Amino acid sequence: MKTITNFGNGVMDETVDMYYYLENDATNPKFLGNVFPFIGKYPIEKLYEYGVMNKDTQSNFLFLQLFNGMMKTYDVFSIVPLMAHTILYEYKVENEKFIGYHGLNGCYNKYINHLINGMKEIDLLSISLIDIANFKEADENKVYKTDYLYDFIDMDLDENQSWFYIAKNDVINYLFYILSNYLPSNVNLHLNIIKIINDDTDEISIYFMKLLDEKSNQLMESIKQSTNSNNYKDERVS
């Protein structure tokens, strides 16, 4: 995942006279880096490169203006681009890390709609128990820990291997992992967006979380039907 971690120091470059810049210099990262010194020139270049900034100079300027103000208040140490005028940012308060979202009006709903459409397109029949098991064991960051949820599948691989189980959380983790394959090329996925969506009370956020839960339930049922029913357990994990 593309992450920006190098920011400005909040000090204006006094060698640059803002009044001599033409209006079209609003697309110049050096100009913008001096106008918004808390963000800095390098991050703005990367925001253009990663598609957060586009040809709409007015929206670009407003996006940076609002975020520069936030950086005056928060100790931001990384930015994760999501799509045009839409980012996640990580910041610290007394050495404790937090996740924030920043985007122009309407961008959040557009972004979540991309996730919803992508989730609907996932072909559950193409996913096997082994796919999920392999991802569970992979050294990848995951949305949830296995032992948080209940409802799991217990299965013997073969006579030479010990049994393993797949929890519902493992299914959710895998669905979220492959979701990026069903998104437009200019839309990025990061697992921390789940924290933002889960804490949000807007209807669209609630709908996405329900859809994710429904898809995971459907996939669990599909896997149960394709495995020996005697090996299936439905218990709560304490």
Q: pLDDT tens for residues 78-121?
A: 999 999 999 999 999 988 999 999 999 999 999 999 999 999 99
Region 149-160: mean pLDDT is 46
Give, in degrees to the nearest 5, the angle at Cα 76 between 73 and 80: 135
pLDDT of residue 199 exceeding 50, the answer is yes
Q: What is the DSSP letter of 141?
A: -
| Interatomic CA distance for residues 197 and 54, integer angstroms | 25
Pick 64 or 154 by higher pLDDT.
64
pLDDT of residue 34 exceeding 80, the answer is yes
Mean model confidence pLDDT for the chain: 84
For the sheet with 96-103, list strands across it. Answer: 75-83, 86-93, 96-103
pLDDT band at 145 (very low <50, low <70, confident <90, very high): low
Distances (CA, A) of 166 to 19, 131, 227: 62, 11, 12
| Interatomic CA distance for residues 104 and 56, integer angstroms | 12
User: Given this model, what pLDDT does residue 130 score?
Assistant: 86
User: Given this model, what pLDDT does residue 144 score?
Assistant: 73
| Interatomic CA distance for residues 207 and 40, integer angstroms | 37
Percent of the chain with pLDDT strictly greater than 90: 56
pLDDT band at 222 (very low <50, low <70, confident <90, very high): confident
Outline where DSSP puts E strands in 85-219: 86-93, 96-103, 152-155, 164-167
Contacts of 183 (CB under 8 A, 6+ apart): 114, 115, 118, 189
pLDDT of residue 162 exceeding 80, the answer is no
Region 26-48: mean pLDDT is 90
How far from the centroid of its chain's Cα atoms is residue 36's Cα?
25
Pick 168 or 155 by higher pLDDT.
168
User: Given this model, what pLDDT does residue 233 score?
Assistant: 45
User: Given this model, what pLDDT does residue 163 score?
Assistant: 46
Residue in this structure with the two tokens 């669209």, named with its chain if needed: 204
| Interatomic CA distance for residues 86 and 188, integer angstroms | 10
Residues 198, 93: contact at Cβ < 8 Å? no
pLDDT band at 234 (very low <50, low <70, confident <90, very high): very low
Q: Phi first, then psi: what are they for 222, rounded to 5°? A: -65, -40
User: Given this model, what pLDDT does residue 63 score?
Assistant: 96
- Torsion angle (degrees, nearest 10) of CA 65, 67, 71, 73: 90
Q: What is the pTM of this model?
A: 0.84
Residues β-bridged to residue 224? none
Largest distance between two CA atoms of the chain: 77
Residues 35, 67: contact at Cβ < 8 Å? no
User: What pLDDT digit, counting tens, does each position of 49-58 carry?
Assistant: 999 999 898 9
pLDDT of residue 152 exceeding 60, the answer is no
Which of 23-27, 66-70, 118-122 shows the lowest mean pLDDT across its residues?
A: 23-27
